[in-house]
């Protein structure tokens, strides 16, 4: 028993070593890619490729790393779900939701026809189509979020199609299983009905939680008092929902997204998204590194020509198909092209389906390696494609002899800057209320109140101000609310340490913004100014000045005793 316990203890430390090695390598190579103006995601993929079985074999395929890495996608989708309530999801439009069904079906069919043309039998061609039809939820949403393009037209379209693809994973897996001889048509049909029933049950369960249980928990929590409990609640919901979906043989990422949507209506949504940011980054990094582990650089080098050829066919073919589907739903031409480029890669679930196809002898080992290698190359290309997606859409539109959607040359809503200057007011006590009241007379200014107490937020909204619940010292929170575009930040809270942290966070994100901070005591004035405050209002000095004026007025001749 002791030996068994020791062996298990050793395995835990082995996995921990592999995790640290993977994260350290991803850190180093990711920094190199960032230094040369590329996405750090590419560095994570390279790190996984180097430490995986194909090169140094530091991380085993059978270790717990890939399983842990799957949580990264779930946490990413949970964070995205916090941005999208049910109403906003419906607002994605038919191009996103119904277009996803069209995209998966057409891509599968076109790929299957191409496979038959290249000599594959019908079943292998259909299995290949099922794998290529799926794009990378993790990669696309991560890059779109980093570039603040999730709210753009092509970003919303991509999100809707990706969510539909996650729903389609189960039917596609059942379809490929049937092709491999693992089930009859009736069994597959029953499996599809069962999957649909489980999805409905999962959504129903989440709705019950969001309507009857979560509101009671939220009423008991205070952001200022129960910060740790709020983070624990978020982690339990994110990981628990992914686990529930997995136990029902559904996509864990889809379950986590639904859980995030539950919390989207709560006042804590933005803050929770900020609080789990560090945990999400670690798991997402592990996920991309684990995907990179699938690649074999030696095999790719020996078969570089077919890998490049298949990669080009995938990127061009999927871009054209998705662009056509988007145009069918009357998206502006430039956004249709951008949507096609954003979703042109093959995703992580495509690799899973390819693995099922290989294990059931639908496709050869050579074709499986070719598909996995091409998938990795498409993932490498994805950050660049997303970066230039909209400019390429405009350029292609300009080169066409006819002008599609003529007259629709309006700039995107995400590209229009606010006419009003944004001013953050941190804290809505008596001082913050006075500042907000004075700003009401300036039509060119748009104040945003930030406070950690719900009653202050309710008060601000009742007075007609925009207000959000959250911690203004959180960098993610400030980014989300657009501090990079702010004209000024007024910090009215009395706590000098918290004020200093807020000044440092704001100054990190915006070097030009004017920061006016309240210094409760004279000794903290220099500290706030050194942190980056433009003006530190010395409360002790002002109080002493007012006391002196009052005393001078009382001592002036002619003042009657009271």
pLDDT tier at 216 (50, 70, 90 boundaries)?
A: confident
| Residue 318: per-residue pLDDT | 96
Residue 421 has pLDDT above 70, yes or no: yes
Enter the tokens of residue 195: 């999957």
Distance between CA atoms of 114 and 108, rounded to whole angstroms? Answer: 10
Instruction: Name the β-bridge partners of 448.
Output: 424, 466
**pLDDT tens, position by position, 169-180:** 878 887 888 888
Conformation bin of residue 474: beta by default, left when phi > 0, alpha when psi is -120 to 50: beta
Distance between CA atoms of 261 and 255, rounded to whole angstroms? Answer: 10
| Residue 405: per-residue pLDDT | 61
Sheet containing 421-426, strands listed edge to edge, beginning at the edge strand earlier in sequence: 466-469, 445-451, 421-426, 486-491, 514-519, 535-538
Residue 1 has pLDDT above 60, yes or no: no
Residue 134 has pLDDT above 80, yes or no: yes
Higher pLDDT: 262 or 502? It is 502
Mean pLDDT of 274-302: 86
Mean pLDDT of 431-458: 89
**pLDDT tens, position by position, 527-536:** 999 999 999 9
**pLDDT tens, position by position, 405-414:** 654 554 454 4
Asked if residue 184 lies in contact with residue 271, where contact means CB atoms within 8 angstroms, the answer is no
pLDDT tier at 225 (50, 70, 90 boundaries)?
A: low
Mean pLDDT of 214-219: 76
**pLDDT tens, position by position, 450-459:** 998 888 888 9
| Residue 97: per-residue pLDDT | 67
| Residue 12: per-residue pLDDT | 79
Asked if residue 286 lies in contact with residue 65, where contact means CB atoms within 8 angstroms, the answer is yes
Using the CB atoms, write b or e for 492-520: b if 16+ within 10 Å: bbeebebbbbbbbbbbeebeebebbbbbe
Distance between CA atoms of 136 and 142, rounded to whole angstroms? Answer: 10
Equal fold, 72-134+153-283+311-395 vs 417-555: no
Pick the range with the lowest mean pLDDT from 221-225, 298-302, 395-399. Answer: 221-225
Mean pLDDT of 138-165: 84
Residue 561 has pLDDT above 60, yes or no: no
Residue 4 has pLDDT above 60, yes or no: no
Enter the tokens of residue 517: 């901070």
Pick the range with the lowest mean pLDDT from 24-33, 134-143, 227-236, 386-395. Answer: 227-236
Q: What is the CATH number of domain 72-134+153-283+311-395?
A: 1.20.1530.20
pLDDT tier at 403 (50, 70, 90 boundaries)?
A: low
Asked if residue 170 lies in contact with residue 254, where contact means CB atoms within 8 angstroms, the answer is no
**pLDDT tens, position by position, 65-123:** 777 777 777 887 888 788 766 666 666 667 666 888 899 999 999 999 999 999 999 88
User: Where do the domains of the chain lie?
Assistant: 72-134+153-283+311-395, 417-555
**pLDDT tens, position by position, 38-61:** 888 889 999 999 998 888 888 876
Residue 428 has pLDDT above 90, yes or no: yes
User: What is 417-555's CATH number, 3.40.50.20, 3.40.50.720, 3.40.50.10310, 3.30.710.10?
Assistant: 3.40.50.720
Q: What average pLDDT does the chain have?
A: 84
pLDDT tier at 8 (50, 70, 90 boundaries)?
A: low
């Amino acid at each position: 028993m002791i030996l068994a316990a020791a062996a298990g203890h050793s395995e835990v430390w082995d996995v921990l070593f592999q995790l640290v090695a993977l994260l350290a390598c991803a850190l180093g190579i990711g920094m190199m890619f960032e230094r040369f103006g590329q996405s750090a995601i590419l560095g994570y993929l390279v790190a996984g490729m180097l430490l995986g079985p194909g090169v140094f074999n530091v991380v085993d395929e059978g270790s717990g790393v890939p399983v842990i890495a799957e949580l990264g996608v779930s946490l990413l989708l949970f964070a995205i779900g916090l941005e999208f309530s049910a109403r906003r999801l419906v607002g994605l439009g038919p191009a996103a939701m119904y277009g996803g069904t069209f995209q998966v079906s057409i891509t599968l069919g076109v790929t299957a026809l191409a496979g038959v043309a290249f000599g594959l039998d019908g079943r292998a061609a259909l299995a290949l189509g099922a794998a290529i039809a799926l794009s990378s939820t993790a990669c696309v949403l991560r890059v779109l979020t980093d570039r603040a393009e999730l709210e753009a037209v092509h970003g919303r379209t991509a999100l809707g199609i990706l969510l539909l693809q996650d729903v389609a994973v189960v039917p596609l897996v059942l379809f490929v299983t049937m092709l491999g001889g693992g089930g009859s048509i009736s069994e597959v049909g029953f499996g599809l009905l069962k999957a649909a029933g489980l999805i409905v049950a999962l959504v129903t369960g989440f709705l019950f939680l969001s309507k009857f249980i979560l509101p009671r928990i939220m009423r008991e929590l205070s952001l200022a008092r129960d910060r740790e409990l709020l983070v624990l609640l978020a982690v339990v919901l994110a990981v628990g929902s992914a686990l529930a979906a997995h136990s029902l043989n559904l996509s864990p990422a889809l379950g986590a997204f639904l859980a995030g949507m539950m919390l989207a209506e709560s006042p804590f949504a933005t803050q929770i998204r900020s609080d789990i940011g560090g945990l999400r980054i670690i798991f997402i990094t592990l996920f991309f590194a684990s995907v990179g582990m699938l690649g074999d650089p030696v095999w790719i080098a020996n078969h570089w020509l077919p890998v490049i050829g298949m990669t080009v066919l995938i990127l061009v073919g999927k871009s054209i198909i998705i662009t056509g589907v988007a145009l069918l739903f009357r998206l502006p031409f430039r956004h249709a092209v951008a949507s096609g480029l954003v979703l042109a890669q093959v995703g992580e679930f495509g690799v899973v389906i390819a693995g099922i196809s290989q294990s059931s002898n639908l496709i050869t080992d050579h074709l499986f390696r070719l598909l996995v290698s091409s998938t990795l190359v498409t993932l490498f290309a994805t950050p660049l494609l997303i970066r230039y997606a909209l400019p390429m859409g405009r350029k292609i539109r300009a080169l066409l002899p006819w002008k599609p959607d003529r007259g629709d040359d309006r700039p995107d809503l995400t590209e229009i800057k606010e006419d009003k200057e944004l001013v953050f007011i941190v804290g809505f006590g008596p001082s913050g209320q006075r500042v907000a009241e004075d700003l009401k007379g300036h039509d060119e200014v748009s104040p945003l109140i930030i406070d950690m107490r719900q009653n202050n937020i309710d008060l601000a909204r009742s007075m007609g101000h925009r207000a959000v619940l959250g911690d203004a010292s959180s960098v993610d929170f400030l980014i989300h609310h657009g501090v990079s575009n702010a004209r000024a930040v007024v910090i009215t809270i009395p706590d000098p340490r918290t004020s200093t942290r807020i000044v440092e966070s704001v100054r990190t994100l915006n070097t030009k913004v004017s920061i006016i901070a309240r210094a409760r005591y004279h000794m903290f004035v220099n500290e706030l100014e050194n942190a980056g405050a433009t003006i530190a209002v010395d409360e002790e000095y002002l109080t002493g000045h007012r006391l002196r004026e009052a005393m001078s007025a009382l001592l002036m001749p002619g003042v009657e005793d009271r």
